[in-house]
Structure 1
Amino acid sequence: MTTPVLEATGLHKEFADGKVVVDDVSLTLAPGGSMGVVGESGSGKTTVARMLVGLETPTTGTVTIDGEPLTTGGTTRHRRAERLRRARRIQLVFQDPYASLDPRQTVGAGIDELLRLHEPDRDRRRDRAAELLDQVGLDARTAGSKPNALSGGQRQRVAIARALVSRPKVLVLDEAVSALDVSIQAQVLNLLTDLRDELGIGYLFVTHDLAVAQQVTDDLIVMHRGRVVERGATDQVLTAPEHAYTRALLAAVPREGWHPTRHP
């Protein structure tokens, strides 16, 4: 039996004021798989994403990558080593690429800063940076540009390139195309599909957009008020939803002409 590349069991998140934002969420992602987590704002899906990559600590529950549980306690040195170990396996791509990039750094400098954590040789870092830019469809000259000189789609490609620096097994994409125009969004989704085929990387897409989920995911989890209310193969969930909340999400799809029985 193949070991899941990512597994979360019983994730629960309760804040100091007693508010429960995630309640008993479990998921399993196969190597090279693509899973969507959908729900309206406040459903808890972004909190799940942040717990998976270590930006939030679960109140209870576990996260395992390649069969190894990820921990958050211990000494300062242990926590630093654990963050690096996690970063080598799983990376997060944010919704707003401009906010996730340092406006003072060129693209090349930002990528090199991350590469130094994994590769001490300068020439190899330079070659790897060029490879990464090529993988996301950017010209090598982009390395000399700062984020404010790039379009939104180019900035998101840079963010994806940075996430690939450590050759992770999983990318968590938190509304990663929602800030882009529809035509640019399609280009980035096609890029992600190509990267998945090329690298065998697994994806966890956090999105409110059911058309995006249908285009790029194999399996789907529907969240409502912190809990999973439906799960299954993406096409099955979108064409024959069992839960009333999922049916309400489908009924509220704003894209004219989109229908869950076909790709957008």
Structure 2
Amino acid sequence: MLDLKLDIDSVALAREISDIQRKQIPFALVLAQTRLATNRIKPGILKVMGQRLDRPTPTTMRSLFAQAATKTRPAKVWFKDSWTTGIPADAYLQQAVQGGSRPHKRFEKSLIAQGLMKSGQYAVPSGDYLNQYGNVARGTMTRILSGLGAAESELGYQANATNSKRSQRKGNAQRYFTGTIGDESGVWERKARKEVKPVFLYTDGAPQYRVIFPFYKIGENIGKAHGQSELANALRDSILTAK
């Protein structure tokens, strides 16, 4: 989360106004912070996100929020930290923002919990199963976990494949399996003519990421570049509209 604070004493106009006009300073600070967050920093960060991230999804591009300032709270720019479903952006963007090792994803944790993958392994998707955003579709992962018996819902209902006719028609239990073929271990899909293809291959050790989207640095640079001009404009507007 990026908090925005501005220094009114650095604005030349603030040293030239009267005591009556000086009463407008608190309102000018609130106005300037809000304009800086919503009109400068948020659009600037979104532009860099589109340039730096690999095929960001529409959900990712909608995950950035700007909060207006008040007299007691600075303006803020942050990633939404919760969604009705799915993984929040502030969790899955951490590797792009900070770099380093990737933690286990929910899909991997389910495999580990069922003994289908070792705790030190990670599941890397095959390129054939990636969608236009470079991800494996959530529906595909759900079908895999269901077929492997690893999709028990936290809400208490049965999500795994069973012997029911409806479940058998879906065929997930016959389609997906884990194991080692040749030198590769992972999750496999049975195709036609007894062919099998890897959906996820297991690797030892966490994938490593470099920083490609320095969120805080970008926001701070935009704030430094435009903060004082926004504050000067807000102070001028506040004085002109003062009653």
TM-score (normalizing by structure 1):
0.24
TM-score w.r.t. structure 2 length?
Answer: 0.25
| Greater percentage in helix | 2
Q: Could you say which structure has the higher strand fraction?
A: 1
The structure that has the greater radius of gyration is 2
Which structure has more relative contact order (CA 8 Å, sep 6+)? It is: 2
